[in-house]
Structure 1
Amino acid sequence: MATGLHRPVSAPAAVHVAGLTRSFDGRAVIDRLELDIAPGEFVALLGRSGCGKSTLLRILAGLDRDIQGTVLVPRRKAVAFRAPRLMPWKRVWRNVVLGLPGRPERAVAVRALTEVGLDHRTDAWPKTLSGGEAQRASLARALVREPDLLLLDEPFGALDALTRIKAQRLVGELWQRRGCAVLLVTHDVEEAVLLADRVLVMDEGVIAQEQTVALDRPRDITDPRFAEIRTVLLRQLGVDDDTPATG
């Protein structure tokens, strides 16, 4: 049974987590974790596989309530996962509005699809979309909910390198335009530094390290300051050389 508190929060914090614990079979995957995210802040979460990153995101999304501690989140929130999870028997625009209350009109979906550059695929079937297009449809489905908190669980992990770069740029633009808080779970250190205001490193169920990214946007990966922050984060993840971390 859930013994924690999970309810909407208002300003000044978009997310407030205190003493959060989540156990599986007696093992604490998340152990008295503390976290605050400010309204409009872009936070990236790094960590080795199995450290609890995705579990934390699911808890913030309200998909896992078997917790102890306090979790306060905005009432309006949305999630985009690594797998787009589109329903193959519904056209793209119907996937975008799936789950919205009432009978949302096609125009609602078209506006969101236009924002992600996919309005030309409004009536397409999901199986005809490329990987990048499917991920943009997933983002449109999240944005149509007008979230104050956008949760991204490795949304670019299955994309090829070029498509991934385009998707990262799109998310950065959408965040700046929308102004919502974002929590991005990723294994990619460079991606975290490229997009986030603040990068957190999760280890043994807690936020073990925190790194502010005080770089102008758009960011240049050849900037020595970018490389310095990337190196610090790699060391915090236990990677000593200069090769990309995979979490």
Structure 2
Amino acid sequence: MATDVHGAVTPTPSEDHSAAVRVSGLSRTFDGRRVIDGLELTVRPGEFVALLGRSGCGKSTLLKILAGLDRDIQGTALVPRRKATAFQAPRLMPWKRVWRNVLLGLPGKPERALAERALAEVGLDHRVDAWPKTLSGGEAQRASLARALVREPDLLLLDEPFGALDALTRIKAQRLVGELWQRRGCAVLLVTHDVEEAVLLADRVLVMDDGVIAHETRIDLPRPRDISDPGFGELRAQLLDRLGVEAPTATPVPAA
């Protein structure tokens, strides 16, 4: 059964596994301003979807609604019971060791071994007993991903998870998320400002504008993807144009 954002059990087409996310007529208003306006969205099980858009267009608001963190809505937002969210800030509790952070919020008394397996999956098995303040930015983000994965989600919601990382660490984190998604097979909805990141990771890229999904591009490039591929460059340029950003042109190299 799927659940709505209020937590009530709701019979939906998701029961026949046709959708991991089904949003219909969704609206959200802040101080009289409608940030999300009758939005429609479907994400299939196992699909990786990236959501682009200008700042303030409602991307993160939509993610919070799907995560169950914002319930003051109109319309319907149906998601799997098993879902997890990773944000730009890792949000680790500084007074708990890394393995305890991974298990934070799980029901009952989960065993340490559960956290150890999740941390090993993200390459942090050597930092199980570390304190969060000793982690690098990339390590903290991987710990946040482990905390999401330990919940065995059918839907993984990612809100700018690489935004605070340096360029090299970001590339490694992107590669890790792609590998985890292929291994786990869960649906992923990634909110990002990075067009290249969206084309690199997603099956489908959506552009949000004026509170609705205004554009959709399917990414049919083979994996792993190469940013130097002409097809990659064409898709990136099309999306930048849709966002009102001029694609960068190569700078000529002076003759020796």
TM-score by length of 1: 0.95
TM-aligned CA deviation for residue 12 of structure 1? 1.0
SS at match of 1:233: helix
Please list every run of at least 4 consecutive aligned residues from structure 1 whose deviation after the TM superposition is greater than 3 angstroms: 4-10
Larger radius of gyration: 2
Matched, 1:204 2:204: no
Partner of 1:19: 25
Q: Does the aligned pair in 1 maintain the 2:46–2:186 contact within 8 Å?
A: yes
Structure 1 residues not aligned, in runs of 5+:
none
Q: Does the aligned pair in 2 maintain the 1:6–1:70 contact within 8 Å?
A: no
Structure 1 residues 7 and 212, CA, compared in 2 at 3 Å: closer, same or farther?
farther
Partner of 2:144: 138
CA distance in 2, matches of 1:51, 1:111: 37
Q: 1:215 aligns with which of 195, 207, 221?
A: 221
Identity over aligned residues, as a percent? 81
CA distance in 2, matches of 1:66, 1:105: 36
Partner of 2:52: 46
Q: Superposed, which structure 2 residues align to 1:114-129 within 5 Å?
A: 114-129=120-135
Residue identity in the other structure for 1:42: F
Structure 1 residues 195 and 7, CA, compared in 2 at 3 Å: closer, same or farther?
farther
Q: Does the aligned pair in 2 maintain the 1:7–1:72 contact within 8 Å?
A: no
TM-aligned CA deviation for residue 5 of structure 1? 6.7
Partner of 1:67: 73
Q: Does the aligned pair in 1 maintain the 2:6–2:68 contact within 8 Å?
A: no
TM-aligned CA deviation for residue 120 of structure 1? 0.4
TM-aligned CA deviation for residue 52 of structure 1? 0.2
CA distance in 2, matches of 1:214, 1:6: 35
SS at match of 2:227: coil
Q: Deviations over 1:145-171 (max 9, x none)?
A: 000000000000000000000000000
TM-score by length of 2: 0.92
Partner of 2:102: 96
CA distance in 2, matches of 1:241, 1:98: 43
Q: Deviations over 1:26-69 (max 9, x none)?
A: 11100000000000000000000000000000000000010000
TM-aligned CA deviation for residue 195 of structure 1? 0.1
RMSD between aligned residues: 1.2
Residue identity in the other structure for 1:25: D
CA distance in 2, matches of 1:5, 1:13: 18
